[in-house]
């Protein structure tokens, strides 16, 4: 079953997970020209802001029926029999895709790109997420784990394209206002 909400509030899946011990944080301001391009140098910190535009949720409960017979993992226990409902999810195997507009400032006036998070949930509302930040002049790619209920999250930046080719580091997201997030990138 797929649920899609345009302009939906991002669930508090924006969660805090410490990614790497000893990551140095260098405080430098965003370099943005008149076209809205964002420049980054090694060791630079870029602060941007995101606001959700779409959310899609794939509840894979209906797929569990195939495992009810000849299940190699033991006794099948349906969600309904266990008293679990869709409102208590996400559950292991569920997926979510979130898309965001990315802005240069907290006023959300100057759009500098977009972002897409693809999350696959496992146990206890935890997910492994892949993220792509499409910014003017290049793309940053990241990944990491987070929890559906936490308010902040951190992801590793594992690479990039264009002016972000070979970039590594991390991004820390914290809530700002009702639906937007502050994204603090530290690139190595």
Residue by residue, pLDDT tens for the chain (188 residues) are: 343 444 443 433 333 222 222 222 323 333 444 444 444 555 779 999 999 999 888 877 655 555 554 444 444 445 455 555 555 678 888 899 999 999 999 999 999 999 999 999 988 889 999 999 999 999 999 999 999 888 899 999 999 999 999 999 999 999 998 899 999 999 98
Domain holding 120, by residue range, is: 2-60+88-187
Residue 71 falls inside a structural domain: no
The answer for residues whose C-beta is within 8 angstroms of residue 109's C-beta and 6 or more apart is 103
Q: Is residue 66 included in any domain, yes or no?
A: no
| Tally of CB atoms within 10 A around 183 | 22
Question: How far apart are the C-alpha atoms of 147 and 13, rounded to whole Å?
Answer: 6
We report the CATH number of the domain holding residue 114 as: 2.40.480.10
Q: How many domains does the chain have?
A: 1
> Would you say residue 110 lies in a domain?
yes
Element (H, E) at 46: strand 45-58
Strands of 59-105 (E only): list them.
Answer: 95-103
Domain assignment present for residue 68? The answer is: no
Is residue 128 one of the residues assigned to a domain? yes
pLDDT digits (tens, 9 = 90+) for 69-112: 444 444 444 545 555 555 567 888 889 999 999 999 999 999 99
The torsion angles phi and psi of 115, rounded to 5 degrees, stand at -145, 150
80 part of a folded domain: no
Residue 23 lies in a domain: yes
Cβ atoms of residues 55 and 7 within 8 Å: no
pTM above 0.85? no
Evaluate whether residue 172 is within a structural domain.
yes
């Amino acid at each position: 079953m797929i649920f899609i909400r345009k302009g939906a509030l991002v669930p508090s899946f924006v969660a805090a997970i410490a990614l790497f011990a000893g990551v140095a944080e260098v405080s430098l301001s965003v370099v943005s020209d008149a076209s809205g391009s964002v420049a980054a140098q090694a060791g630079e910190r870029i602060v941007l802001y995101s606001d959700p535009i779409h959310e899609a949720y794939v509840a894979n409960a209906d797929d569990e029926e195939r495992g009810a017979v000849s299940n190699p993992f033991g006794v099948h226990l349906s969600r309904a029999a266990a008293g679990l409902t869709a409102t208590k999810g996400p559950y292991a195997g569920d997926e979510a895709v979130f898309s965001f507009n990315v802005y240069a400032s907290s006023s959300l006036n100057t759009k500098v790109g977009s972002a897409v998070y693809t999350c696959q949930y496992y146990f206890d509302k935890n997910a492994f997420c892949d993220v792509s930040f499409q910014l003017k002049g290049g793309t940053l790619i990241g990944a990491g784990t987070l929890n559906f209920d936490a308010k902040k999250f951190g992801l590793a930046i594992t690479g990039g394209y264009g002016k972000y080719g070979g970039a590594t580091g991390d991004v820390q997201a914290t809530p700002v206002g009702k639906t937007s997030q502050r994204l603090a990138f530290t690139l190595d």
